[in-house]
Structure 1
Amino acid sequence: MTRLVPPAEWAPHAAVWIGFPSHPDLWVEDLEPARTEVVAFARVVHAEGRGERVLLVAADDEAATAAQAMAGDFAEIVVESFGDIWLRDTAPIVLSDGSARDFGFNGWGGKYDLPGDSDIGMRLATDRKLAVERCDWILEGGAIDGDGTGLVVTTEQCLLNPNRNPALSKMQIEQRLCNDLGFAHILWLGDGLMHDHTDGHVDNLARFVAPGVLAIPEAAENDPNWQVYQQAAAAAAAMPGISVVRIPSPGRVLRDDEIVPASYMNFYIGNAAVVVPLYGAPNDAAAVAALQALFPEREVVGLRADAILTGGGSFHCISQQIPG
């Protein structure tokens, strides 16, 4: 019997939701550069029709008009109000039978409580006419990554954080991951990246690239996250059935003299292309080459994501695939 789980990201997609920067008061001078980076990402994912259908989600009519002007005919524009573009965390998670699960959302532990984010998942599912079930606990899509077999990886820093589900124990959270998303085996890592406002989302730290194969960064010189990577690799290697591959890290990336959670792990696996965020770091090309070796049947494309990163995330964070 086939387990009802979210398909692995490398499984075929019918479409992908991608958040389009919509609020000038949030993005300020980064609004237009972020829009340019998002559309460039969406264009590579579409791959001139060889990839997948792109659904650019705009929060209002002004943003929708801008998205249409920039994207032309390759994307469908969906207008649904939201707080910000991080649809990996707020859009529904679609399972292998085409049904969807929508979870509670509290602004990453109360940090960013923006109107529209708590119900955008249900509205997007309804717009796609998906059978959707509401699950009564807090879970963001970027906090988990599965390999399609029932194996999922997450971090204790995020899922066990008292600002998410303070009444639930680790065992109870594991049970909910099993009941609501069909997972059978859970790999717990410890902390996520330094200065990550999501409290350590795993999609910045460790990603499945094949069944049972987990990619984790290899620390660069002066890397502020070297201990995080070391501990994650050790935890993964200790779990039976998992092999670890190492991907170069961007190392210490500064914006306005502050360390930011820049990560090549925030790549998106599309039907035709794998899109990797780049930061102008020495390991940019090496990371693309390492991922190309893991995805030989797809084109691995590196794109700058500096403006998107000012909002706190990158390509994986702004997207949520619809299997099909």
Structure 2
Amino acid sequence: MRKLYLPPEWSKHKGTWLSYPHNPDTFFEKIDNVRDKYTDMVKLLSECEEVHINVNDEEMENDVLSRLKDKRANLNNVFIHRFPTNDAWCRDHGAIFVVDRDENKLVALDFKFNAWGGKYPYELDNEIPKKMAEYLNVERIEIDMVLEGGSIDVNGNGLLLTTESCLLNPNRNPNMSKEEIEENLKYYFGVEKILWLKEGIVGDDTDGHIDDITRFINENTVITVVEENPNDENYPILKENYEMLKTFTDIKGNKLNIITLPMPDPVYYKGDRLPASYANFYISNKYVIVPIFNCDKDKIALEILQSVFTDRAVVGIDASDIVVGLGTFHCLTQQIPYV
């Protein structure tokens, strides 16, 4: 049996893979500002690792390069690919890169993608893992299971976090039992124990991705969002998850260290609650890129994150318009581990 292993996000990256925002049904009239904040993120990433960006056509390629030139990004580290997508959420539609520990090589996992249970078109998105693997000239394993990268998080030492509301949703793998899903997670990601939380935050159209609620920041520590307002819809959801986290142990039976992050003030678009969360940060080689939402909680969240990521600079980028698309920076990114 192969020894596949998903390195934790804080391990060294060769690069980050992205898909450029373009879908008017996702970002509406916000698209120009979304691209502006998106390229702020790309500029930071280009300082410390390769950045690969999927675009649909020449217009998109010219647009991203023009914005990056204006921001003085390191274009030597930016690679544009004419790989058309339905949308921008590369965390979910892109390949998940693992390491084959026996051969010390990169492997692209190509899970099925069905746009979070068939909610949106996904024909182009589902072809992206194959194109990523071909470009990098790495082996691709096609897996007969629906899975999005935002639905899992690992600690690099045997643990994987996920949610029942997403992975056990009948709109993903109705013919697979919980035990069969666990077996696949353990084999393909090289983990020993699956930690199941319950539900995700209100407004999350992914049915509750873990990257909006709880993240590993080292082998024995999680950071999790909590809602302090008992009248808020997220209060009971996040309280239940927090209480569950307190019962979890690592593979040696030790309890996890738990650090709490506040939730931002509620963010709405046309009357709908959006899944705004500080937990949707992305850990790059040099920076931790954090979504912020123009409220008093921003400063508190950034200070907490900087206190735990002592080896990286924590940078907040306004995600008030990006979250109209129902995701932010972690949802947009997919790391390529360094082997």
- 1:179-218 alignment, distance < 5 Å: 179-218=187-226
CA distance in 1, matches of 2:246, 2:303: 23
Task: Tell me the SS of whatever aligns to 1:126.
Answer: helix
Q: What displacement does 1:137 show?
A: 0.6
Question: Given the two structures, how large is their TM-score scaled by the length of structure 2?
Answer: 0.91
Check whether the contact 2:203–2:326 (CA below 8 A) recurs between aligned residues: no
- Is the 8 Å Cα contact of residues 19 and 85 (structure 2) preserved in structure 1? no
Q: Match of 1:155?
A: 163
Quick check: 1:220–1:250 contact (8 Å CA) kept in 2? no
| Counterpart Cα distance in 1 of 2:19 and 2:239 | 33
Residue 94 of structure 2 corresponds to: 91
Deviates further, 151-160 or 227-236: 227-236
CA–CA distance in 2 between the matches of 1:265 and 1:195?
15
Asked if 2 retains the 8 angstrom alpha-carbon contact of 1:3 and 1:149, the reply is no
Deviations 1:296-316 (A, max 9, x none): 110000000122111110000
Corresponding residue for 1:133?
141
More moved, 307-316 vs 58-67 = 58-67
Secondary structure, counterpart of 2:4 in structure 1:
coil
2:331 is paired with a residue whose SS is coil
* Pairwise CA distance, 1:239: 1.3
Is this contact kept in 2: 1:59–1:79, CA < 8 A?
A: yes
Counterpart CA distance in 1 for 2:196 and 2:112 is 21
Following superposition, the deviation at residue 24 of structure 1 comes to 4.2
1:19, distance to aligned residue in structure 2 (A): 1.8
CA deviation string 1:149-183 (max 9, x = no partner): 12100000000000000001111110111122222
Matching of residue 319 in structure 1 with residue 333 in structure 2: yes
Structure 2 letter corresponding to 1:76: F
> Is residue 64 of structure 1 aligned with residue 58 of structure 2?
no
| Partner residue in 1 for 2:260 | 246
Task: Give, in whole Å, the separation in 1 of the partners of 2:54 and 2:320.
Answer: 21
In the alignment, does 2:240 pair up with 1:237?
A: no
Kindly state the Cα deviation for residue 60 of structure 1 after the two structures are TM-superposed.
2.0
Which SS does the other structure have where 1:124 is aligned? helix
Aligned counterpart, 2:111:
103
**Structure 1 residue ranges (4+ consecutive) displaced by more than 4 angstroms after TM superposition:** none
In 2, distance between residues paired with 1:148 and 1:126? 26
Unaligned runs of 5+ in 2: 70-74, 101-105, 251-255
Tell me, in whole angstroms, the C-alpha distance in 2 between the residues paired with 1:92 and 1:124: 7
Shift, 1:184, TM fit: 1.0
2:83 match = 80
SS at match of 1:265: coil
Give % identity. Answer: 36
> How does the TM-score come out when normalised to structure 1?
0.95
Give the Å deviation of 1:269.
0.2
